[in-house]
Amino acid sequence: MGALNEIFGYLLQTLLSLYLLAMLLRFLLQLVRADFYNPISQFLVRITNPLVLPVRRAVPGVAGLDISSLLLALLLQLAGIAALLLLNNLGLPNIGLLLAWSALGVVGLLVNIYFFALLAMIILSWVAPGSRHPAVFLLYQLTEPVMAPFRRALPPMGGIDFSPILVFILINVIQIALRHMAAGIGLHPALVIGL
């Protein structure tokens, strides 16, 4: 029975992780005003619409933020934590603690999305500079709002862009802070998608 629980837990966590990632990407792409007609954007909208559209009727967007997607990401994280706790025969903590754990997980996953998006952009700038692939275009639209302030702050350095280094330092600082906050509220990293 232990092996079945572990397999089921793994499958559940994998499926929830992928759907949570899709939900957060939808939120971020709308936040940065990415190309809605990009095939990848269309795919994300199509797979997340079954949950987003009903919630959007009750929870409208605010100032260009897709609050319904963000709320659903938080609820998916919470459901994943609760399912893993119950699958491992551990009691559920109070709802406030579950919400705090979920919020930390969502923020951690957002930071990880930017980490890997920046890493992909750096690698693609070496391997396929000037590529017109839809994924590369979305990565650029996602990362540029974060990179631009750092580029403006740095003086010109002979055509070399050192701004990703500063962004990676900021990402690492945020990740350290998140890990310490998670430990401070008793969160085990294995329970949360994104930490």
Residues 80, 111, 63: CA angle, nearest 5 degrees: 90
- Per-residue pLDDT tens digits of the chain, which is 195 residues long: 578 878 887 888 889 889 999 999 999 999 999 988 999 999 999 999 999 999 999 988 888 788 999 999 999 999 988 888 888 777 888 888 889 989 999 999 999 999 999 999 888 888 877 778 888 899 999 999 998 898 888 877 777 778 888 899 999 999 999 989 988 888 777 777 766
Backbone angles phi, psi at 129, to 5 degrees: -65, 140
User: Residue 130 corresponds to which amino acid?
Assistant: G
Q: Whole-model pTM?
A: 0.88
Residues forming a β-bridge with 62: 65
3-state secondary structure of 65: strand
Residues forming a β-bridge with 65: 62
* 3-state helix, strand and coil shares in percent for the chain, rounded to the nearest 5: 75, 0, 25
How many whole angstroms separate alpha carbon 66 and alpha carbon 56? 9
